[in-house]
A and B are shown apart, each in its own frame.
Chain A
Amino acid sequence: MRAALAGCLVFACIAAGAAIAAGAAPRYVGLPGGEFRTALRYEDYKGKPARVAPFALMRTPVTNGQFLEFVRAHPEWRRDRVPQVFAEPRYLQHWAAPDALGADAKPDQPVTWVSWFAADAYCRSIDARLPTWIEWEYAAAADETHRDARKDPAWRERILAWYSRPSSQALPRAGLQAPNAYGVQDLHGLVWEWTDDFSSLLVAGDNRDQGDPDKKQFCGAGALSMDDRDNYAVLMRVAMLSSLEARDATTNLGFRCARSAP
């Protein structure tokens, strides 16, 4: 009972701290954490649920406008100055200029064409970090009313429907979709998002794959290392992240930041 109470207090603390940091409209939402059964088969958990520590997550993905502020404050992350080892040539290519957005990058749209290094640097600059895969998956398991909606066919279908639309049209603004049970928006249906540990998802994350890192890239192996084999919605996000390197950027990949409990 005491432990639970302490957990609650910490949770309230980070949520409140986050709210203060972001001014009137809190930029972060506190998530209580707890036991969570990931769809991936991590060697650490051996079929047991993972423990997610309390953390705070941004309500919405980082926008072009927010990222522009960052680039202006840290000009080493301008697309014309960033070293190519940290960002591929297409980094922020949709911006009109290295320090201006233009017609193809509205301030309210989620920022895309960002590398993992750039996303990581952004979060560090505001005293935050990228969420881990487990944190992201935990937050994204919720729908508008349930914290874990993953068994709901409607939840899965909605996600799959977004996956099967090509990204040839302009992105909607961030924050248009209804908040989920935690109050987080746009985890699905807007952009892919970097996670802190994306590069370990397929290799170090699964002991059996360590000798053969390519394995997950086939259909069969991909299915084998998923604990929840019909959770295609999660599987496809993992497949997407695993196809990338940290300097890569794509037309529909953005990010949001997280903060640990103090």
Chain B
Amino acid sequence: MARHFRTLILAASCALALVACGGKDTTPVAEKSTDTGGSLKGDLGPPQGPDVRAVLTSPPMVPPPTGRKHPARVIVELTVVEKEMPISEGVNYTFWTFGGTVPGSFIRVRQGDTVVFHLRNMPDSKMPHNIDLHGVTGPGGGAASSFTAPGHVSRFTFKALNAGLFVYHCATAPVGMHVANGMYGLILVEPPEGLPPVDREYYVMQGDFYTKGAYREKGLQAFDMEKAIAEHPTYVLFNGKEGALTGDQALKANTGETVRLFVGNGGPNLVSSFHVIGEIFDKVWFEGGTRYQENVQTTLIPSGGAAIMDFHLEVPGSYMLVDHSIFRAFNKGALAVLKAEGPERKDIYSGKEVDAVYLGDRAAPSLAAVEKASEAASTGALTVDDQVKAGQALFAGTCSTCHQPDGAGMPGVFPPLAKSDFIAGDPKRVPNAILHGVNGKVTVNGKEYNSVMPPMSQLTDDEVANIATYVLNSWGNPGGHVTKEEAAAIRAKATAATGEGH
């Protein structure tokens, strides 16, 4: 029986071998040919033609495609500059930079290129620096070969064997502090055939920052090593400054165009859940590699990693780039704007729909003031003080998300309510905006805002009157009050005109 069994096994394994052999013949060759071969096939021969001086660009701009069909010797010259720059409005920080910006200059080469890298360290630098490019094949990614004292320049050469979008960063000890001070950027190694052409390309890089003072605390802020070790950033930013890509600095495009974002994450600590509010990425070259995923909402960008994303713009308006670990967006600055211009496409997006606000956090105790106010209103004993207290509780759930609990708003995105010349100009604008929303350009305290506030018409007349009265009596606004009847009258008006010039 045992012998019999063994024979059977033998027969079976023979059959298996046959199948395997037969299978080999029919293994789809296509499966293999879609593999790029990585670094093994990345050496495309010796450099040809004259030396090429790499075009370096400051963020958010991206150098043009290399357009080459052959490998070349490419000269890159990058200068390390330690300099004080604003990190937020009225807040300065000493950044250490590659090329004077955070993130550093964008470098674009082609797979197979021989890159001759010159790293210069300004004579007035305090620290030595070096560069580790994730696109380099070799120990340290160039770090040891580029270790450069202040007032020195060093040179090393590498062949870009792997195509992809790669982070570069300073790797001088303590590396965390060098990175936290802004020493990172992106190098794109184009595949031999290049990337599919698009209408616009932009360069955005996230980083976390650790300052001694609290978020938006004014003055020159020093680096806080303790916060950095604890991984508790004060700021999480795109392109090194709160508001670097909002207002007049917003990224610009037209509807009907395809936009490509090269997005990196310098860290030093946080991983980014990168998302564009109101858009879906048509393609994401996830992790900056060769393959793309389609129809993506949010893509994960690790610290020291990058991704490329393409999307076609249909509907005009402002699209917000955020780290969807969302407190970072609204409380630490991880917010940028892409402004799309073009004719409305109401067939795709009406642009006027009511955005119902979820008020799940309206816990009973905090609404005691609201109850008191409505009771007082019914007995005719309602004071401005009652209204302010009630309004404050309602404001916290409804308005503070965008306009911030202190009414300061968000530069370039949500106008401030505090000390607002727009409100002082006509206090009725407050209840009007609550009930009918704001659509289009408004100028508040000398700054232009152009976005949409949805009407909050789900609020009762009482609630509108109380919130408006709270706003009018807070943060240096002119005072006064709005009654329930006035709110009702404003609600009855069909107009949504609150923007200046309407």
Residues of A within 8 A of B (CB): 90, 153, 156-157, 160-161, 163-168, 214-219, 222-223, 230, 232, 235-236, 238-240, 242-244, 248, 250-252
Contacts and interface: CB of A to CB of B under 8 A. Distances in A.
Interface residues of B, number: 35
Contacts of B94: 164-166
Given A218-B171, A239-B173, A251-B151, A166 B126 contact: yes
A41 to B, nearest CB: 14
B199 interface: no
Contacts of B125: 166-167
Contacts of B172: 217, 219, 222, 239
A111 B176 CA distance: 31
B292 interface: no
A214 B225 CA distance: 26
Given A232-B174, A238-B173, 10 more contacts: A90-B151, A165-B94, A166-B83, A166-B125, A167-B124, A219-B176, A223-B174, A240-B149, A243-B149, A244-B149
Contact of B126 (A219, A248, A252): A252
B147 interface: yes
Nearest to B141: A218
Nearest to A229: B174
Given A163-B126, A218-B143, A243 B173 contact: no
A235 B173 contact: yes
**Which interface residue of A157, A161, A166, A215 has the most chain B CB atoms within 10 A?**
A166
12 contacts: A153-B226, A164-B126, A164-B181, A166-B83, A166-B126, A218-B175, A219-B143, A219-B173, A232-B177, A235-B174, A240-B128, A243-B149
Contacts of A217: 130, 140, 143-144, 147, 171-172
A85 B65 CA distance: 45
B123 interface: yes
A160 B225 contact: yes
A261 B305 CA distance: 55
**Which interface residue of B127, B226, B229 has the most chain A CB atoms within 10 A?**
B127
Interface in B103-151: 123-128, 130, 132, 140, 143-144, 147-151
Contacts of A239: 127-128, 172-173
Contact of B82 (A161, A166, A218, A235): A166
B193 interface: no
Contacts of B147: 217, 243
B84 interface: yes
B112 to A, nearest CB: 27
B222 interface: yes
B180 to A, nearest CB: 10
A90 B94 CA distance: 26
Contacts of A165: 94, 126
Contacts of A222: 172-175
Nearest to A169: B124
A219 B175 contact: yes
Given A219-B174, A223-B173, A236-B174, A160 B223 contact: yes
A205 B61 CA distance: 46
B68 interface: no
B152 interface: yes
A64 B306 CA distance: 49
A251 B226 CA distance: 29
A230 B128 CA distance: 19
Nearest to B174: A232
Interface string B157-199: 0000000000000011111110001000000000000000000
A219 B224 CA distance: 19
B493 to A, nearest CB: 56
B94 to A, nearest CB: 5
A219 to B, nearest CB: 3
Contacts of A215: 144
B128 A166 contact: no
A240 B151 CA distance: 12
A234 to B, nearest CB: 10
A90 B123 CA distance: 10
A32 B265 CA distance: 50
A248 B149 contact: yes
Contact of A219 (B84, B171, B229): B171
Given A166-B125, A168-B124, A219-B174, A252 B144 contact: no
Contacts of A164: 94, 126, 177, 181, 222-223
A250 B174 CA distance: 21
Interface in B206-233: 222-226, 229
